[in-house]
Amino acid sequence: MTTINDRQLRSTYSALETQFRADPNTKVDGNGMVKLLAAVADTWWSGQASLEKSLSKPGITRAEQLALVKNGMGSTEKADLIRILDKGAVPLTDEVKSFLEQVVDRAAPPAPTDGALRITGNQAGGLIKGTLAAGSTVEALNLSTAPNARLTAEDTFVLGKAGADGKFQGSVPDMKEGDLIKMRSRDAAGKAGDWVTVRASGLGTDTRNAEVAIFRIGLTDEKNGKISLENINASRQVSEPGAKLMFINERTSEKTTITMDANGTFPADTKLNGKAGDSFSVRASDGTNNKDFSAEVGKVQVPGGTGGTGGGVQLPDPKLHKDEMNADGTPKFSTKRFTGPLYTDGLAATDVKQGQIGNCYMPAGVASVAHVMPEVIKEMIKDNGNGSYTVTFKEEDYRNGGYKNKEITVDADLYVRSYGGPLYGSSSGSTSPDKMEMWWPVLEKAFAQWKGSFNAIGNGGVASEVIEAIVGRPNADLSIRYSDETKVWNKIKTSVDNKMPVAAGTYGKDEASRYTNTGVHSNHAYSILGYEERGGEKYVNIRNPWGETEPWPGDGKNDGIFALKLKDFMKLYQTVYTVR
């Protein structure tokens, strides 16, 4: 007989030995293993019978069984189990032997065969740990920090990859106690698993309140005492899921509290009581911080008209993009007179930030000109000193050849969001009406005026055509799909060396899968700021016209500027845009 010290385990194994003597074909199978494990893990608060029931419940996984056993197993039981493994008289099936080796810490757990993602333990030390199918990756997104970034639920990064033992671990940038971390698995074939969300714990005190993307809050007067409340960027969050936002009407003092839905946005048909011109104080709580809603995150105002405010000349404004118009043809947003300086600290690519409109090709092209030819932009924009600006574009002269000047005069009224900042293009610094640097918003407004409306320029375009309209040179685009690395590298290098503006565009949304976890976006244009060679690798220096969002982990600045290896640039970008 095998020497076993634990009384319960000795009794259970003795019964198996008796069965084996009666039938030499007997092996310890799954049922026998459950009886052994229940004897190994029994405690004063959870007896053998109770554990046997828990260990054999339908749907329980090997990982869950392992956790139950380890929770109750002491050193004596562990030593007894090792003797059963090494010297036991009753044969074990291969599956049972493999699992018991895990119980006594002599073998790594196998990867889950169902590929499901499971998180284990807390996030102490800043790490998320868990198991999933061997070779699969874990994609993650911090839902608590995403609202104030241009991130959708699909803008994940690779947290980690499971090894042969099915284990993974990884860190999330700026993860703090209480953060909601959304994750899913993706297997080697590219198939994504179900989302799993955990609230980070083990990191100390929860001090981060729910963030609010106040610039995404849209208010519309329904002219019946009701104000419709919407997320003007429906694919992105206003706050974290489950957060509560309180709106206080500063005219009536009425308070309305709204709970964010599972996507971190307003439930459908959310209303406030109010009228045009009403201002609302916005407060937020994640349930732990700011429970009394005493701290304000900002103010929003219901549009009360479309006319500009402030002194100076008043000129007609280009119409809004169709997505920013109500069904009856009235605008959802009003204008405000901006009085900030044309330039603050010179003129640079980093001044340019894309707004609500889908015209990435334009800020990408303009920023590329600002990077190498700032003097050209300074010469094209004239401050008339009366609240208006004249912007001189270059228009192709089909009759005489070359280019001719096209002067467009606009005033300093800009469409604004409910919190008061620009709806469309803005500068990277302050967005306050009396401080914001104006050259880029003015240039964009003039371009919309020239082409007919913001809708005319807000549905995609070509970056080199914008560059051409500024510098008066014909485009010289290059298709990356049909070029090799040498040709693309030489095109970028020659353009940069000759101080020609350069931009690049990615593939369309029909090829969005190639951008999974890259930090680069499909159907998007970027400025190229330069190139470099280091460590035997060629890199292209790139800027996202959003002024943020870049491949993870980046350099920690999240300013949208990053260096991409040429081989990755070749995979992710479709066209190089420049001029002759």
Q: Is residue 553 part of a domain?
A: yes
Could you give the number of structural domains in the chain?
5
Domain boundary (135, 165, 199) is at 199
Task: Specify whether 348 is located in the same domain as 436.
Answer: yes
Domain boundary (443, 465, 487) is at 465
Nearest residue to 10 via CA among 56, 79, 65, 63:
79
Q: Is residue 112 part of a domain?
A: no
Choice between 105 and 474, residue whose per-residue pLDDT is larger: 474
Task: Specify whether 160 is located in the same domain as 244.
Answer: no
- Please state, for a pLDDT cut of 70, what percent of the chain lies above it: 96
Choice between 66 and 522, residue whose per-residue pLDDT is larger: 522
What b-and-e string marks burial along 484-507, b requiring 16 or more CB atoms within 10 Å of the CB? eeeebbebbbebbeeebbbbbbbb
> pLDDT band at residue 75, thresholds of 50, 70 and 90?
confident
Q: What is the pLDDT of residue 173?
A: 87
Q: Is residue 310 part of a domain?
A: no
Query: Residues 492, 494, 495, 498: is their CA dihedral positive or negative?
Result: positive
Q: What 3-state class would DSSP assign to 137?
A: strand
Task: Specify whether 79 is located in the same domain as 32.
Answer: yes
| Strand (E) or helix (H) holding 198 | strand 196-199
Q: Give the count of alpha carbons within 13 A of 563, CB side only.
A: 10
Q: Give the count of alpha carbons within 13 A of 177, CB side only.
A: 10
Task: Specify whether 460 is located in the same domain as 499.
Answer: no
Comparing 295-309, 389-403, 457-471, 497-511, the range with the smallest average pLDDT is 295-309
Task: Specify whether 185 is located in the same domain as 220.
Answer: no
Tell me the three-class secondary structure of 74-123, residue by residue: CHHHHHHHHHHHHHCCCCECHHHHHHHHHHCCCCCCCCCCCCCCEEECCC
Q: Is residue 320 part of a domain?
A: no
Task: Specify whether 340 is located in the same domain as 386.
Answer: yes
The whole-angstrom separation of Cα 272 and Cα 279 is: 11
Task: Specify whether 329 is located in the same domain as 444.
Answer: yes
Contact 298, 214 (CB under 8 A): yes
Could you give the C-alpha distances from 546 to 151, 355, 357, 358, 526, in angstroms and in order?
A: 11, 8, 11, 11, 9
Task: Specify whether 294 is located in the same domain as 329.
Answer: no
Q: Is residue 515 part of a domain?
A: yes
Q: What is the pLDDT of residue 304?
A: 81
Domain boundary (441, 465, 489) is at 465
What would the two tokens of residue 378 be?
Answer: 């300074």
Domain of residue 543, CATH code? 3.90.70.10
Comparing 164-168, 202-206, 297-301, 423-427, the range with the smallest average pLDDT is 164-168
Q: Is residue 163 part of a domain?
A: yes
Domain of residue 156, CATH code? 2.60.40.10
> pLDDT band at residue 284, thresholds of 50, 70 and 90?
very high
Q: What is the pLDDT of residue 76?
A: 87
Contact 172, 208 (CB under 8 A): no
Task: Specify whether 369 is located in the same domain as 455.
Answer: yes
> pLDDT band at residue 554, thresholds of 50, 70 and 90?
confident
What would the two tokens of residue 66 be?
Answer: 């392992």
User: What average pLDDT score do residues 366-387 get?
Assistant: 97
pTM: 0.79
Task: Specify whether 330 is located in the same domain as 424.
Answer: yes
The reply to whether omega before 553 is within 30° of 0 (cis) is yes
Contact 290, 303 (CB under 8 A): no
User: pLDDT tens digits, residue range 514-538?
Assistant: 999 999 999 999 999 999 999 999 9
Q: Helix, strand, coil % (nearest 5) of the chain?
A: 25, 25, 50
Residue type, position 565, single letter:
K
Q: Is residue 311 part of a domain?
A: no
Q: What is the pLDDT of residue 307?
A: 47
Q: Is residue 550 part of a domain?
A: yes
> pLDDT band at residue 306, thresholds of 50, 70 and 90?
very low
User: pLDDT tens digits, residue range 81-133?
Assistant: 898 988 888 998 888 888 888 888 876 555 555 668 999 989 999 999 999 99
Q: What is the pLDDT of residue 30?
A: 84
Q: What is the pLDDT of residue 215?
A: 96
Contact 259, 242 (CB under 8 A): yes
Task: Specify whether 444 is located in the same domain as 332.
Answer: yes
Contact 284, 209 (CB under 8 A): yes
The whole-angstrom separation of Cα 172 and Cα 178 is: 13
The whole-angstrom separation of Cα 281 and Cα 295 is: 10
What would the two tokens of residue 332 be?
Answer: 């959802």
Parent domain of 68: 7-103
The whole-angstrom separation of Cα 469 and Cα 362 is: 11
What are 426's strand-pairing partners? 353
User: What average pLDDT score do residues 210-236 get?
Assistant: 95
User: pLDDT tens digits, residue range 320-347?
Assistant: 999 999 988 899 999 999 999 999 988 9
Task: Specify whether 452 is located in the same domain as 484.
Answer: no
Q: Looking at the predicted structure, is the pLDDT value of residue 46 above 70?
A: no
> pLDDT band at residue 42, thresholds of 50, 70 and 90?
confident
Q: What is the pLDDT of residue 147?
A: 96
Give me the chain's average pLDDT, please: 92
- Tokens 């974290």 correspond to 240
Nearest residue to 98 via CA among 116, 114, 89, 111:
111
